[in-house]
Amino acid sequence: MYSEKIQKKLEAENIEVGDRIKVNDHKGTLMPKTKASRKGTIVLKLESGYNIGLEPEEIQLLQKQQGKETKQTETEYDEEKPNILILHTGGTIASKVSYEEGGVKPAFEPEELIKMYPGVADIANIHSEVVAQMLSEDMEPEHWQEIAQKIHEVKNDYDGIIIGHGTDTMSYTGAALSLMLQNIDTGVLLVGAQRSSDRPSTDAATNMYAATKLLTETDYTGLGICMHQTSNDKECYVIPAAKARKMHTSRRDAFEPVNTQPEARINTQTGKIKYSKSNEANGEYKLETELNTNIGYLKVRPGLTVEEVERILEHDYSGLIIEGTGLGHMPVNSFDDKTQHHKEILQTIEKIAEETLVIMTSQCINGRINMNVYDAGYKIQEAGVISGEDMHPELAYVKLMWSLGTTKSLEKAKERFRENISGEKNTRTPYTG
């Protein structure tokens, strides 16, 4: 509730929460008063989608809201249309404006989704279930297992499955699912949004429409991530889920393929689809969701100390990811009095590798590990560290959990990690332009 003074001004102009108004020189939608709002201010949602607090000198009604949220009626399904299941885990993709509560809130019911994504409802029947409800930075490996199990249970009941997911850790989930659901014969696409649905620049509807087009109009099977290919709304693409990575904090085209090519491109203006799936299923479907989450992570950098590496030894990890430099390097050579401790770092890594599966990856993201070029690489290999090849660090981290979880011994886990399970590694790194 606004202060008595402001409330009188609003009532005089017949202004309610949700109306479009002008406050001083700013135009936007009137939002409810929040506890965090300063006394004597009005909360306005600007056309950019951001909220602002203003001390009102002048208030003018511009447009009454189109109608408050009403109870949804049951959706009628068309037997001629394909059926798409949207599994929700949370994130911006499932957010809508709530003028009663302020800001945005999740929208999970099919009727709500039809209003948010009318283009999707034109080409498919929408079904909806909630698997989790959280920001993706709060996602834990156990949630990957729950999502995989749910997909396994319902995969034969729908023409395609969309997983609504927050973008921050979507590539981790994609990597995990591609290993857990090997050779799946249903199309499964993770879809996110960089901008919420209340913002004019939202990418939510476009990404959802593109994913639905591919799932309903092609024979796509497997796991992919469907997001904007460019910053405009013209085209989206589908990247193999294991080989995608978020490369920008806020751009709509934040996701890029790493050491691979996109599997499909969807022109969202013409509806044309260019489909060239590169990682076809090469075996029978198999569900393997076991994980060993006792994994350490070491980021190499100038100034790395022996004590830091020794603390890893004390933790008794089952596996360790080293995010090295360049082709897969870390400080192991001594050149002067300032680098004498590098020998001790190498010795400690060798001790760790005796009972721990240690994987070398690169901070460079694109390209592949090659520890056969420089002396440092040879020494690191001799210490027992194995190559992550062309897997980016996050993918290697997830695959290491899975390799250790689905095997009974360190040697078996090493063999499994070196296998190409679901297109997560390539023998040669393709040029991606």
In a domain, 432, yes or no: no
In a domain, 171, yes or no: yes
pLDDT in tens, the chain (433 residues): 677 788 888 888 888 887 888 999 888 888 776 654 567 788 887 776 667 888 888 898 998 876 544 344 456 788 899 999 999 988 777 665 554 444 445 555 555 666 677 778 889 998 988 888 888 899 999 999 999 999 999 999 999 999 999 999 999 999 999 999 999 999 999 999 988 766 667 888 899 999 999 999 999 999 999 999 998 889 999 999 999 999 999 999 999 999 999 999 999 989 999 998 654 556 899 999 999 999 999 999 999 999 999 999 999 999 999 999 999 999 999 999 999 999 999 999 999 999 999 999 999 999 999 999 999 999 999 999 999 999 999 999 999 999 999 999 999 999 999 999 999 998 777 766 5
Q: Which residues pair with 323 in a beta bridge?
A: 299, 361
- Note if 268 is an active site residue: no
Token representation of residue 93: 């993709």
- Identify whether residues 337 and 388 lie together within a single domain: yes
pLDDT for residue 319: 98
pLDDT for residue 381: 97
DSSP for 329-379 reads B-S----STTSTTHHHHHHHHHHHHHHSEEEEEETT-SS---TTSSHHHHH
- Identify whether residues 273 and 408 lie together within a single domain: no
Task: Write the CATH number for 262.
Answer: 3.40.50.1170
Count CA within 13 A, CB hemisphere, residue 308: 15
- Identify whether residues 252 and 164 lie together within a single domain: yes
- Identify whether residues 150 and 270 lie together within a single domain: yes
CA separation for the pair 116, 15 (Å, rounded): 25
247, 266, 287 - which closes a domain = 287
Annotated catalytic residue within 41, 89, 167, 169: 167
CA separation for the pair 222, 279 (Å, rounded): 8
State the maximum Cα–Cα separation within the chain, in Å, rounded to a whole number.
Answer: 80
Domain that holds residue 106: 83-287
- Identify whether residues 368 and 406 lie together within a single domain: yes
- Identify whether residues 208 and 232 lie together within a single domain: yes
- Identify whether residues 36 and 173 lie together within a single domain: no
In a domain, 178, yes or no: yes
The residue assigned the tokens 């090519």 is 261
Task: Write the CATH number for 58.
Answer: 2.30.30.520
- How many domains, the chain? 3
The residue assigned the tokens 């929700």 is 88
Q: Which residues have a Cβ under 8 Å from the Cβ of 387 and sit 6 or more positions away?
A: 328, 359, 360, 369, 370, 371, 381
CA separation for the pair 359, 387 (Å, rounded): 6
pLDDT for residue 7: 82
- Identify whether residues 282 and 314 lie together within a single domain: no
Q: Are 131 and 89 in contact (CB under 8 A)?
A: yes
Helix (H) / strand (E) element for 402: namely helix 393-405
Annotated catalytic residue within 29, 41, 89, 92: 92
Task: Write the CATH number for 352.
Answer: 3.40.50.40
In a domain, 70, yes or no: no
- Identify whether residues 255 and 368 lie together within a single domain: no
265, 287, 309 - which closes a domain = 287
- Note if 212 is an active site residue: no
pLDDT for residue 102: 46
Which CA distances in Å does 302 have to 13, 299, 332, 356, 420?
Answer: 63, 10, 12, 24, 33
Count CA within 13 A, CB hemisphere, residue 173: 31
CA separation for the pair 161, 172 (Å, rounded): 18
In a domain, 424, yes or no: no
In a domain, 428, yes or no: no
The residue assigned the tokens 């009972």 is 355
CA separation for the pair 312, 298 (Å, rounded): 8
pLDDT for residue 69: 45
CA separation for the pair 110, 410 (Å, rounded): 46
- Identify whether residues 185 and 314 lie together within a single domain: no
78-110: burial string, b at 16+ Cβ within 10 Å, e else: eeeeebbbbbbbbbbbbbbbbbeebbbebbbeb
Q: Are 100 and 32 in contact (CB under 8 A)?
A: yes
pLDDT for residue 205: 87
- Identify whether residues 234 and 356 lie together within a single domain: no
Q: Contacts from 352-355 at CB under 8 Å and sequence distance 24+? A: 352/309, 352/312, 352/313, 352/317, 352/320, 353/383, 353/384, 353/385, 354/384, 355/410
pLDDT for residue 288: 98
pLDDT for residue 36: 47
In a domain, 270, yes or no: yes
Annotated catalytic residue within 246, 277, 399, 425: 246
- Identify whether residues 87 and 235 lie together within a single domain: yes
Which CA distances in Å does 231 have to 69, 254, 257, 258, 325?
Answer: 31, 9, 16, 19, 30
Strands 42-46 and 26-30, sheet pairing: antiparallel
In a domain, 172, yes or no: yes
287, 307, 333 - which closes a domain = 287
- Note if 167 is an active site residue: yes
- Residue (of 94, 245, 110) closest to 166 by Cα position: 94
pLDDT for residue 105: 52
The sign of the CA dihedral 325, 299, 380, 422 is: negative
Which CA distances in Å does 121 have to 76, 93, 110, 372?
Answer: 11, 16, 9, 54
